[in-house]
Amino acid sequence: KFDVTSMRYHSQVDLDRIKVLNCSDPSSASLEVLEFKTLPFVPKRIYWISDFVSGTTRGNHAHKNLNQLMLLIRGSIELKIYLGNYSKTYFLNRSTESVLVPAGHWRVMQNASSDAIMLVIADQEYDELDYIRDWQEYLTWHLNQNNEC
């Protein structure tokens, strides 16, 4: 089982994908299932983001301690993840696609389709003090995290 602490502060931006099961019945409805036991953390909060305005970005922050699973429910979106100055862009366009975003990673959602819905499962309740919303502050924080023993 994946341990979020093992991914926390290294220079790798290849993040884990959590499997979502497609249990659809073509004769009646689409059904995707995410079993919480497949998550590397206990969910404390679930929310979703929708009605993306064309040409804008969402996210633009990092969390010091919070881990998230970002799961596309509908539409398409680009999810750009940074660890310091390293980055990787994930192109999500199926309702079974997800990215596990550990603490310490900056995230930007961009180029979302007008019908996109992103579901986010977090391992902590909302805490404004956990957010880093300034890019330069994030880079300094990230450097300090990597210099600690």
pTM above 0.85, yes or no: no
Q: What mean pLDDT do residues 45-61 have?
A: 95
pLDDT, tens only, 96-147: 788 999 999 999 999 999 999 999 999 999 999 999 999 999 999 999 987 6
Instruction: Please state, for a pLDDT cut of 90, what percent of the chain lies above it.
Output: 62
Residue position matching structure tokens 């390293």? 86
Q: Which residues on adjacent β-strands are paired with residue 72?
A: 118
Measured between alpha carbons, how far is residue 23 from residues 32, 34, 87 in Å? Answer: 6, 10, 33
Structure tokens at 60: 């633009």
The CA distance from 133 to 107, in Å, is: 10
The CA distance from 67 to 18, in Å, is: 13
What's the pLDDT at 17? 66
Say if CB 140 and CB 132 are below 8 A apart: no
Output the average pLDDT for the chain.
84
DSSP for 50-102? E-PPTT--EEEEEESS--EEEEEEES-EEEEEEETTEEEEEEE-STT-EEEE-
